[in-house]
């Protein structure tokens, strides 16, 4: 099925059934492919510690073969990331066109520095449906500090404008940190004024260089306030929000809050690839991350090698890897997550559990269970999850 037909099907599913992507459990519906480790920035919180390219990154033939295999396994959407994927622009364009031809939806996460009008047009023509660009503060110096290079704020804003002018869907990714939390209202207003209609708010998962700034993760109170505030804001704005970075219960919490308030979110489901499967953390269940050298991780935030596609077929890795199979058996979870009534529908962020304890089956220290009960939501209400990819 071509990509346009697939988008149409998704829109109909959303309108008629309130559901986004649909797939069997243990099907990799969404794959995040880091096409290179190279980056033209050295962001302080980069969870993949991007720097120079790996010496052995996949070539076009290998990447196409991997995409064929992913599609055979049931992949519906592929997200190009990095490093900075536009440092391999021709490679990305060729792969995006290939995905378009075989009916896989594609998106791209970029820091925006290389987003000229010509590049944006090429991405659009190759079939890229959405571009994620980061704005981490509305104060230029603060954004530039986090991104570790002066002038990046202005370039990111210019990139957003360029994509919007071409009618490319833009998802602004934005990091909510302890010190920048207070400016979130101003930041979202700034993005609304720019004409952005979708924002992915990231909670810090202390992975990669993010470990060095983990004292900047939001407090529990800030996180809960932010969720309540985003939901309230969504009632009177066209902007849609998602929370990424290990908050698997967020979609259900906001959906239930809307139901309780008698409001409905905008066209949230299609835009965020919501999936009608209550599995919470989807690492290794409905999602995996392909690294530049062919390594397979359960998630970009869970850097445990499940295999390498140069050594084994992807199908073999997906079906037989010990780590992926453990992630699919929630009865193996330990601590609070292991005995939780939301074990099957949330499961906690396995990436954060691993980063904080060294054991990917341990408890996730960030838990929204209290908020669920304050909002009168019970375990049986949980029906869906969003996506959180790096």
Residues that bind ligand SF4 (CB under 6 A): 245-246, 248, 281-283, 299, 301-302, 336-337, 340, 342-343, 346-351, 364, 367, 369, 388
CB of 348 to ligand SF4, least distance (A): 3
Distances from the Cα of 376 to the Cα of 69, 232, 342, 372, 383, angstroms: 43, 17, 14, 6, 15
Nearest alpha-carbon partner for 288 in 258, 308, 263, 262: 308
Distances from the Cα of 134 to the Cα of 84, 102, 108, 111, 171, angstroms: 12, 29, 12, 6, 8
For residues 100 and 94, what is the distance between their CA atoms, to the nearest angstrom? Answer: 10
CB of 265 to ligand SF4, least distance (A): 20
* Of residues 120 and 205, the one with the C-beta less far from ligand SF4: 205
For residues 294 and 288, what is the distance between their CA atoms, to the nearest angstrom? Answer: 12
CB of 256 to ligand SF4, least distance (A): 14
* Of residues 98 and 273, the one with the C-beta less far from ligand SF4: 273
Contact 249, 346 (CB under 8 A): yes
CB of 302 to ligand SF4, least distance (A): 5
* Of residues 124 and 369, the one with the C-beta less far from ligand SF4: 369
CB of 73 to ligand SF4, least distance (A): 17
* Of residues 141 and 370, the one with the C-beta less far from ligand SF4: 370
Q: Give kind and range of the element (H or E) at residue 30.
A: strand 30-34
Number of neighbouring beta carbons within 10 Å of residue 371: 18
* Of residues 152 and 278, the one with the C-beta less far from ligand SF4: 278
Q: Do you know the residue count of the chain?
A: 390
User: 346 by DSSP, 3-state: which?
Assistant: coil
CB of 15 to ligand SF4, least distance (A): 27
CB of 307 to ligand SF4, least distance (A): 18
* Of residues 88 and 330, the one with the C-beta less far from ligand SF4: 330
For residues 130 and 168, what is the distance between their CA atoms, to the nearest angstrom? Answer: 6
Contact 295, 308 (CB under 8 A): yes
Contact 183, 144 (CB under 8 A): no
* Of residues 271 and 282, the one with the C-beta less far from ligand SF4: 282
* Of residues 206 and 246, the one with the C-beta less far from ligand SF4: 246
Contact 241, 385 (CB under 8 A): no
Contact 133, 123 (CB under 8 A): no
Contact 48, 216 (CB under 8 A): no
Contact 109, 173 (CB under 8 A): yes
CB of 287 to ligand SF4, least distance (A): 6
CB of 206 to ligand SF4, least distance (A): 12
Distance from CA of residue 360 to its chain's centroid? 19
* Of residues 45 and 282, the one with the C-beta less far from ligand SF4: 282
CB of 167 to ligand SF4, least distance (A): 29
CA angle centred on 328, ends 336 and 12, rounded to 5°: 105
* Of residues 110 and 289, the one with the C-beta less far from ligand SF4: 289
For residues 241 and 191, what is the distance between their CA atoms, to the nearest angstrom? Answer: 12
Number of neighbouring beta carbons within 10 Å of residue 1: 11
């Amino acid at each position: 099925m071509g990509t346009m037909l697939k988008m149409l099907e998704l829109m109909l599913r959303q309108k008629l059934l309130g559901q986004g992507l649909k797939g069997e459990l243990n099907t990799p519906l969404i794959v995040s492919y880091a096409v290179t480790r190279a980056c033209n920035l050295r962001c302080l919180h980069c969870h993949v510690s991007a720097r120079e390219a790996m010496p052995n990154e996949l070539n076009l033939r290998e990447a196409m073969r991997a995409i064929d295999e992913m599609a055979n396994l049931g992949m519906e959407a592929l997200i190009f990331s990095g490093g900075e994927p536009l440092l391999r622009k021709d490679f990305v364009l060729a792969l995006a066109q290939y995905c378009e031809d075989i009916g896989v939806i594609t998106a791209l996460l970029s820091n925006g520095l290389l987003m000229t009008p010509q590049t944006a047009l090429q991405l659009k023509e190759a079939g890229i449906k959405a571009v994620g660009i980061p704005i981490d503060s509305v104060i230029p110096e603060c954004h530039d500090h986090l991104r570790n290079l002066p002038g990046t704020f202005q370039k990111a804003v210019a990139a957003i404008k360029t994509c919007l002018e071409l009618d490319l869907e833009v998802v602004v990714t934005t990091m909510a940190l302890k010190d920048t939390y207070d400016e979130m209202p101003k930041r979202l207003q700034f993005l609304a004024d720019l004409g952005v209609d979708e924002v992915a708010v990231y909670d810090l998962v202390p992975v990669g260089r993010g470990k060095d700034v983990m004292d900047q993760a939001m407090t529990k109170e800030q996180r809960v306030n932010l969720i309540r505030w985003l939901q309230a804001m969504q009632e009177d704005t066209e902007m849609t929000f998602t929370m990424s970075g290990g908050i698997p219960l967020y979609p259900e919490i906001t959906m239930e809050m809307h139901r309780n308030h008698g409001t409905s979110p905008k066209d949230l489901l299609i835009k965020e690839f919501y999936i009608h499967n209550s599995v919470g953390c989807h690492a290794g269940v409905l999602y995996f991350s392909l690294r530049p050298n062919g390594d397979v991780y359960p998630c970009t935030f869970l850097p445990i090698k499940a295999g390498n596609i140069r050594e084994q077929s992807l199908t073999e890795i997906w079906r037989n890897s010990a780590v992926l199979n453990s992630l699919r058996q929630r009865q193996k979870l330990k601590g609070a997550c292991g005995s939780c009534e939301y074990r099957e529908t949330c499961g906690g962020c396995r990436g954060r559990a691993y980063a904080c304890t060294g054991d990917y089956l341990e408890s996730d220290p960030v838990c929204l269970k209290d908020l669920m009960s304050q909002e009168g939501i019970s375990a049986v209400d949980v029906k869906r999850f969003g996506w959180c990819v790096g």
